[in-house]
Amino acid sequence: MTDPNGGSLRQKSVGKYAYLAGVCILFLMIAAGLKMWTDPGNRLLRRNKEPLVQSGFLFDTVISVSLYDNQKQEILDGAFALCRRYEDICSPSRRDSELFRMNHRGAGVTVWKTDSELPDIVRLGLEYSEKTDGAFDLTVQPLSELWDFRSGKAQVPEEAKIREAVKKIDYRRVSVEQGCIRFQDDQTQIDIGAVAKGFIADRIKEYLLSQGVGSAIINLGGNVLCVGEKPGGEAFQIAIRKPERESSEVVKRLSVRDQSVVTSGIYERCFDLNGVHYHHILDPKTGMPYQNGLSSVTIVGPSSGICDALSTSCFSLGEEKGMKLLDGTDGYYGYMIRLDGSIRASAGAPE
Ligand code: ADP
Ligand code: MG
C-alpha cells in the first residue's frame, strides 16, 4: 500500500524529532555549563569568585578559615573538626581539657604521658623561654590565672597572691621527651596561651595542603596564616591595626605569600584602673604586666607557631633585646609599635 501523503508525513516527523533532539542537546549543554560553574572543585572558573568562608568561636576567640581556590564545604568541616580536637587538648579553662588535667595532675605526680601534640607545643614554648632567659616563661600559669582580663572587671590581684604565684614560675622545672612532659614538682603549671594558636594554625595549614588547597587564609583571632597566594597570583594583603582598643585604623599593610602574621599587644585583653593600663603580657619577675614603652609587636614569617612565640617573646624582652632576638631569627621580620605610635621595623623588613 502506498500512502499518497506518506512521504510528507515521514518528513514532518523526522523534522519534529530533529527539532526535539536539538532542544535536548541545547538543554544538556546549558546543564553541563551550569554544573561546571557550580562544581565545588572547579578552580579555573572560581578564580575570581569570593572565598568559601567558615567562622566560629574557638580558643576563646573568633576564628575563620577562608578557601580561595576550592569550594568544598567538607574541607572546612574537616578544618573545624581539627580545631575542636585542639580545643579538647589546649583549653586552659575547660576542666576536661588535657592541659587542665595536666596542670591539676595531683599531689606527687610529676610525669605526664600522652600521645597528643601537647609535648610539641610545650617544646616550642620552652625553646623561647630559654631564648629569652625567662622574660617569656611557659610556666607563667599560676600568675596568669590570677589576672582576669576577660570578664570586664578591673581588678588587680592581691599582692600576697602575686608573690606566691611568682615563686611557682620557672621554665627550668619542665622538660620534654617523646610523648612525655616531666616536671620537677607537682606545682609547676603550663600556660600555652602565647604559642598554641600559632602551633594550631600550622597544623590546619598542613591539613588544607593535604586536601589539595593551595590558596587560603587561616585566622585564629588575629593570628593569621596565609596558605599560598591569591588564585590570580597576587599576594594576600594583611593589615596591622592601630594598637588601640576597638580601633580599626590601619597603620601598615603587608603583602604576604605563604606566610604568617602574628601580633601581640596590650589593647585586647586589658583593663584600665586609676590611670594605669593593665594587660595580659606579664612579667614573671614582678607579677605585673610589662610596662616597657611598647604597644604591640607584629611578626611575619613562615611558621605561625614561631611567629606566635616570637611576638610574645619580643614584647616581653622589650624594644632593644626583642629586636635583637628577631634580627637573629632567619626568615622572620617584624614591627614594633611604641606607646607614642611610632614604628620600628626589624632589619629584615621589606622597604
Ligand atoms: P594572644 O593570646 O592575644 O594571641 P599572645 O600570643 O601574645 O597574645 O599571648 C599572650 C598570652 O600569653 C597571655 O594571655 C598568657 O596566657 C600568656 N603569657 C602572659 N605573659 C607571659 C609570659 N611572660 N610568658 C609566656 N606567656 C605569657
Ligand atoms: Mg604569641
Q: What is the pLDDT of residue 43?
A: 46
Between the alpha carbon of residue 134 and those of residues 125, 264, 316, the distances in Å are: 11, 17, 9
Mean pLDDT, residues 216-220 taken together: 98
| Distance of CA 67 from the midpoint of ligand 1 (Å) | 29
Ligand closest to 144 (CA) is 1
pLDDT band at 24 (very low <50, low <70, confident <90, very high): low
Question: Which of 58, 266, 312 has the most ligand 1 atoms within 8 A of CB, as the residue to mutate?
Answer: 312
Q: Is the pLDDT of residue 8 over 70?
A: no
| Distance of CA 50 from the midpoint of ligand 2 (Å) | 30
Ligand 1: atom nearest CA of 197 is 4
Mean pLDDT, residues 318-338 taken together: 98
Q: Which residues surround ligand 2, an ion (CB under 5 A)?
A: 194, 264, 308, 311-312
Q: What is the pLDDT of residue 21?
A: 61
pLDDT band at 45 (very low <50, low <70, confident <90, very high): very low
Query: Is ligand 1 within 6 A of the CB of residue 137?
Result: yes
Q: How many CB atoms lie within 10 A of CB 67?
A: 25
Query: Is ligand 1 within 6 A of the CB of residue 223?
Result: yes
Q: What is the pLDDT of residue 14?
A: 47
| Residue 70: all three cell numbers together | 576550592
Distance CA 199, CA 102 (A): 19
Query: Is ligand 1 within 6 A of the CB of residue 190?
Result: no
Q: Is the pLDDT of residue 247 over 90?
A: no
E runs forming strands in the chain: 52-58, 61-67, 111-113, 174-177, 180-183, 216-220, 223-227, 236-241, 250-256, 260-265, 270-273, 276-279, 294-301, 333-338, 343-345
Determine the 3-state secondary structure of 350 from DSSP.
coil
* Segment 276-323, tens digit of pLDDT: 999 999 999 999 999 999 999 999 999 999 999 999 999 999 999 999
Ligand 1: atom nearest CA of 308 is 6
Determine the 3-state secondary structure of 304 from DSSP.
helix
Question: Which of 144, 188, 192 has the most ligand 1 atoms within 8 A of CB, as the residue to mutate?
Answer: 144
* Segment 139-191, tens digit of pLDDT: 999 999 999 998 889 999 999 999 999 999 999 999 999 999 999 999 999 99
Please state, rounded to an integer, the average pLDDT across all residues of the chain: 90
